[in-house]
Amino acid sequence: MKVETNIPELIGKDVQRVDVQDKATGTAIFTDDVQFGRNLLYARIKRSPHPHALIKSIDTSKAEKLPGVKAVATGADFPKRIGLYLKDKHIFARDRVRYVGEPVAGVAAVSEEVAESALDLIDVEYEALPAIFHPHEAIKPDAILIHPDLGEYEVANFIFPKADTNISNHFKVRKGDPEKVWDACAAVVNRKYYIPHIQHVPLETHVAVAKVDRAGKVTLWSSSQSPFAQRDLIAKALGMSPGNIRVIANYVGGGFGCKAGLTMEALPIALALKAKGHPVKLRLTREEEFYTNFVRQALAIELKMGCDKDGNILALENTMYWDGGASTEYGVNITRAGGYSCTGPYDIPHVKADSYCVYTNNTIGGPYRGFGMSELHTGIEQCVDELAEAIGMDKVEFRLLNAVQDGDILATGMKMHPTGIKECIEKVAHAVEWGKPSEPCAPNKRRGKGIAAMWKAPAMPPNPGSSAIIKLNEDGTILLGVGGQEIGQGAFTVAAQIAAATLGVPYEPIRVIGPVDTDYSPYEWQTVASRLTWSMGNAVKEAALDTRRQIFEIVSQAWGEEAKDLEIIDGVVISKASEREIPLKDFAVYGIPKNNFEGWIGGPIYGRGKFMPNYVTGLDKDTGQGERAVVHYTTGAQAFEIEVDLDSGKIEIIHAVSAFDVGRAINPDLVRAQMEGGIVQGISSTIFEQMIFKDGQMQNPNFVDYRIATTMDLPKRIESIIVEVPQDDGPWGARGVGEHPMVPTIAAIANAIYDAVGIRMEGPPFTAEKIFTHLKMKDI
């Protein structure tokens, strides 16, 4: 059965975003369409003022008596632990608090003002404990244990916590023997870097509304990347069936990872369980958004890398200490991803890597766009630059010589698939005229160029599933149901393109059913890991193939022809044998009448599809070796031309270029949009962003003191280049590219700064003040 008739017209086409249709009304969806009525209660949360303390007592009696208060909850009401990969936290703190801002109690009241007043009436007695704020301190043998019961926690079988320590995961990679080849190296680089915590700062803060009906059915409306994962995690924590929990997720006003998994969403449910029949709304303030939810983990990384005189990298030792914060229920998998990707996109025969996830009393680290790869590549790519310089080799040529290629055996023992990384490196180098000096615009300024390569695999369990459904309507319009979330990346648009191309129909009649609703939408693991185009796309394609099969069965039976002779073109079934034709709308629901209307053939057409990778294998606990560590890697490179003001230290980015191998660009405009957005977010994290803590308390939880890039900080020129080397298991060869464009940015800009003024810093942000200080230290 040939299905690619219309592929040239739809795959690789810059179509506009698809309409999203509400299941109940058929109208466009807006968050404000959801109304909760006068019974709506407002929740506020009593939070810990201490980074680490025992809870001696909690007295909520005064708060419960305050007029307007309808429910009060504490950890005593919810004893079960919760977490995605490691169940290490409670909905509300129970015996102790582990970071400033941890929920201790919650109040639901008739207004936010009443709820806030009630919080002041809750008395909590604490006994302060020593706190730890750096992973190096946390791993010391005599460090206080932040989770004394770590050895008892439920954990995924690919996560390796160390009981009676603050190490919640230790991922090892052992390939070859670096110690045997250091003496053979013509150059060896030893470096330490520290990449700080940053926040996702979505425009929409976390918000959720929960309602428990009289029968005990829970409904949660949340701004979420993970409605199905939330349902599962909440059900386990509450001892409920997932069938009794419904999660409805409308459009997300910015995610970048912070709305993946479960953070604050269980809190309004906890209160709604005590106020049945009342919807309970919890909306985080901007200050709460900064430090009470997921942030990007900090990383202290120690690298030793050596090469021979010809530029071949021979050995790498990579030790990573990830600051997972007070809970590492999601962060342990970031540590794992850092471990199996420890070499960066290079073929290195001798590798020793240790990736540690470490508890501290900082705020909780979790998924952030790039999932640890920005932090890892910040170190790797600067060391690569230094090695090339040490042996007098061009930095682009050095990368081309060592870049991983099809058939290479990676550090984990996996065989590398075809990749266009060399083409990416060459294209960005050419775009910035690598090797050609540029004159600064003034005598007090210096120009520099920097480059960095990258790779990233979807970081996920070995069995994350996707599913999709397709329903044909009487008028020929088509409803496409998916469980992946639209967070601005264009996932619904791409899904509609794939469905249309596979079916053989125009793009315009496709309607994506929304919002995502765990009671009615097909299952999707999570909208994370840059996986939807690949995984959900495969499921959509399978659903469309199933739909075609049903269509051909009906028509072939009605016409007495072979299904192999039928095709669908622009929504019309055509016989290549008899040249008969019939539009889908003429039979999609009611079927085709038999001769003389003596019965009917067909009926409503409902296609189903699913996809789950079944080829990812386990990795040895002691060596990290296995047949296939990940499904695939997306590779790419960035290059920058910058100008540094010697009088102020300020960086101006003149030219920024990205090139990524996306396998196949289903929608080139959306791919370029991801590349442009990613590079801007990467620039922001490189030059401006850092969460500043003092004794565990964030000092800059606002947009005055926490700077993010604005249009004034954008490069004068941004160039995005698409490379396409097809992936064998992707729809038409497609791979994801949502996170990747901000992975190499820090390293590429760091290398450009060095090229301009000859300084290297321990880590970002590369603020004007920091650069100016280093310039003065070098007397520049």
Residue 34 pLDDT grade (very low, low, confident, very high; cuts 50, 70, 90): very low
How distant, in Å, are the alpha carbons of 416, 516, 523 from that of 488?
31, 14, 20
Distance (Å, whole) CA 537 – CA 5? 18
Same-domain pairing of 543 and 649? no
Examine residue 515 and say whether the peptide bond preceding it is cis (omega within 30 degrees of 0): yes
pLDDT digits (tens, 9 = 90+) for 728-770: 999 999 999 999 999 999 999 999 999 999 999 999 999 999 9
Same-domain pairing of 759 and 741? yes
Distance (Å, whole) CA 639 – CA 643? 14
User: In the predicted model, is pLDDT for residue 513 greater than 70?
Assistant: yes
Residue 19 pLDDT grade (very low, low, confident, very high; cuts 50, 70, 90): very low
- Confidence at residue 626, expressed as pLDDT on a 0 to 100 scale: 98
Distance (Å, whole) CA 305 – CA 384? 8
Q: At what angle do helices 745-757 and 373-390 cross, to 10 degrees?
A: 30
Last residue of a domain, one of 550, 577, 611: 611
Please spell the DSSP secondary structure of 145-176, one letter per residue: PS-TTGGGS-B-TT----TTSSEEEEEEEEES
Beta strand 218-222 with 207-212 is antiparallel
User: In the predicted model, is pLDDT for residue 2 greater than 70?
Assistant: no
User: In the predicted model, is pLDDT for residue 261 greater than 50?
Assistant: yes
Same-domain pairing of 326 and 470? no
Question: Which pair of structure tokens corresponds to residue 163?
Answer: 């009981």
Per-residue pLDDT averaged across 577-592, rounded? 97
Closest CA to 640 of 428, 472, 481: 428
Query: DSSP state, 363?
Result: P
- Confidence at residue 470, expressed as pLDDT on a 0 to 100 scale: 98
pTM score: 0.95
User: In the predicted model, is pLDDT for residue 670 greater than 70?
Assistant: yes
Higher pLDDT, 83 or 250: 83
Instruction: Report CA 339 to chain centroid distance, whole Å.
Output: 17
Per-residue pLDDT averaged across 148-153, rounded? 98
Residue 11 pLDDT grade (very low, low, confident, very high; cuts 50, 70, 90): confident
Residue 177 pLDDT grade (very low, low, confident, very high; cuts 50, 70, 90): very high
Element (H, E) at 542: helix 537-559
Q: What is the CATH number of the domain that holds 207?
A: 3.90.1170.50
pLDDT digits (tens, 9 = 90+) for 468-503: 999 999 999 999 999 999 999 999 999 999 999 999
Same-domain pairing of 213 and 308? no
395, exposed or middle or buried, with CB in 10 Å at 0-12, 13-18, 19+?
buried
Closest CA to 523 of 631, 409, 608: 608
Average pLDDT across the chain, whole number = 95
Instruction: Report CA 246 to chain centroid distance, whole Å.
Output: 23
Question: Which pair of structure tokens corresponds to residue 429?
Answer: 């180098």
Examine residue 192 and state whether it is found in any structural domain, yes or no: no
Same-domain pairing of 605 and 702? no
> Is the Cα dihedral 128, 129, 135, 137 positive or negative?
positive
Say which residue the tokens 């790869």 belong to: 373
**Range with lowest mean pLDDT among 22-26, 323-327, 417-421, 510-514:** 22-26
Instruction: Report CA 322 to chain centroid distance, whole Å.
Output: 17
Examine residue 117 and state whether it is found in any structural domain, yes or no: yes
Asked whether the beta carbons of 634 and 724 are under 8 A apart, the reply is: no
Percentage of residues of the chain with pLDDT beyond 90: 94
Question: Which pair of structure tokens corresponds to residue 715?
Answer: 């490069």
Residue 657 pLDDT grade (very low, low, confident, very high; cuts 50, 70, 90): very high
- Confidence at residue 779, expressed as pLDDT on a 0 to 100 scale: 87
- Confidence at residue 26, expressed as pLDDT on a 0 to 100 scale: 44
pLDDT digits (tens, 9 = 90+) for 99-141: 999 999 999 999 999 999 999 999 999 999 999 999 999 999 9
Half-sphere exposure of 35 (CA within 13 A, CB side): 3
User: In the predicted model, is pLDDT for residue 20 greater than 60?
Assistant: no
Closest CA to 698 of 201, 335, 89, 226: 201
Same-domain pairing of 239 and 103? yes
- In degrees, to the nearest 5, what angle opens at C-alpha 219 toward C-alphas 218 and 222? 135
Domain limits for position 515: 20-28+464-611
> Residues near 88 by Cβ (< 8 Å), separated by ≥ 6?
81, 147, 150, 153, 168, 327, 328, 329
pLDDT digits (tens, 9 = 90+) for 709-719: 999 999 999 99
Examine residue 149 and state whether it is found in any structural domain, yes or no: no
Last residue of a domain, one of 242, 276, 291: 291
Question: Which pair of structure tokens corresponds to residue 717?
Answer: 């020129």
- Confidence at residue 13, expressed as pLDDT on a 0 to 100 scale: 77
Element (H, E) at 9: helix 7-10
Say which residue the tokens 């997932």 belong to: 242
User: In the predicted model, is pLDDT for residue 7 greater than 80?
Assistant: no
Examine residue 223 and state whether it is found in any structural domain, yes or no: yes
pLDDT digits (tens, 9 = 90+) for 481-490: 999 999 999 9
* β strands within 75-186, DSSP E: 96-97, 103-109, 123-128, 167-175
Residue 35 pLDDT grade (very low, low, confident, very high; cuts 50, 70, 90): low
Last residue of a domain, one of 590, 611, 632: 611
Examine residue 461 and say whether the peptide bond preceding it is cis (omega within 30 degrees of 0): no
Same-domain pairing of 108 and 24? no
592, exposed or middle or buried, with CB in 10 Å at 0-12, 13-18, 19+?
middle
- Confidence at residue 18, expressed as pLDDT on a 0 to 100 scale: 52
Distance (Å, whole) CA 198 – CA 201? 9
Distance (Å, whole) CA 602 – CA 590? 7
**CA end-to-end distance (rounded Å), the chain:** 69
Query: DSSP state, 27?
Result: S
Examine residue 197 and state whether it is found in any structural domain, yes or no: no
Distance (Å, whole) CA 179 – CA 2? 55
How distant, in Å, are the alpha carbons of 198, 571, 589, 730 from that of 475?
50, 11, 9, 32
Please spell the DSSP secondary structure of 265-294, one letter per residue: THHHHHHHTTSTTS-EEEE--HHHHHHSS-
Examine residue 140 and state whether it is found in any structural domain, yes or no: no
Question: Which pair of structure tokens corresponds to residue 407?
Answer: 């058939």
Element (H, E) at 503: helix 491-503
Residue 33 pLDDT grade (very low, low, confident, very high; cuts 50, 70, 90): very low
Other beta carbons within 10 angstroms of residue 519's beta carbon come to: 12
**Range with lowest mean pLDDT among 19-23, 208-212, 305-309, 602-606:** 19-23
> Residues near 479 by Cβ (< 8 Å), separated by ≥ 6?
21, 470, 471, 472, 473, 511, 513
Asked whether the beta carbons of 226 and 527 are under 8 A apart, the reply is: yes
> Residues near 113 by Cβ (< 8 Å), separated by ≥ 6?
none
Largest CA distance in the chain: 96
Asked whether the beta carbons of 637 and 656 are under 8 A apart, the reply is: no
Query: DSSP state, 64?
Result: H
Examine residue 187 and state whether it is found in any structural domain, yes or no: no
Same-domain pairing of 219 and 108? yes
Give me the residues paired with residue 592 across strands: 601
Say how many domains are in the chain. Answer: 3
pLDDT digits (tens, 9 = 90+) for 620-652: 999 999 999 999 999 999 999 999 999 999 999
Say which residue the tokens 């979420």 belong to: 224
Examine residue 194 and state whether it is found in any structural domain, yes or no: no
Same-domain pairing of 379 and 407? yes
CA dihedral 224, 229, 233, 239 (to 10 degrees): 110
User: In the predicted model, is pLDDT for residue 23 greater than 70?
Assistant: no
Please spell the DSSP secondary structure of 710-764, one letter per residue: -GGGS-SEEEEEEE----TTSGGG----SSGGGSSHHHHHHHHHHHHH----SSS
Same-domain pairing of 305 and 417? yes
Please spell the DSSP secondary structure of 321-332, one letter per residue: EEEEET--TTHH
Residue 183 pLDDT grade (very low, low, confident, very high; cuts 50, 70, 90): very high
Q: What is the CATH number of the domain that holds 593?
A: 3.30.365.10
Per-residue pLDDT averaged across 379-391, rounded? 98
Distance (Å, whole) CA 90 – CA 372? 25
Residue 9 pLDDT grade (very low, low, confident, very high; cuts 50, 70, 90): low
Same-domain pairing of 455 and 500? no
Same-domain pairing of 491 and 455? no
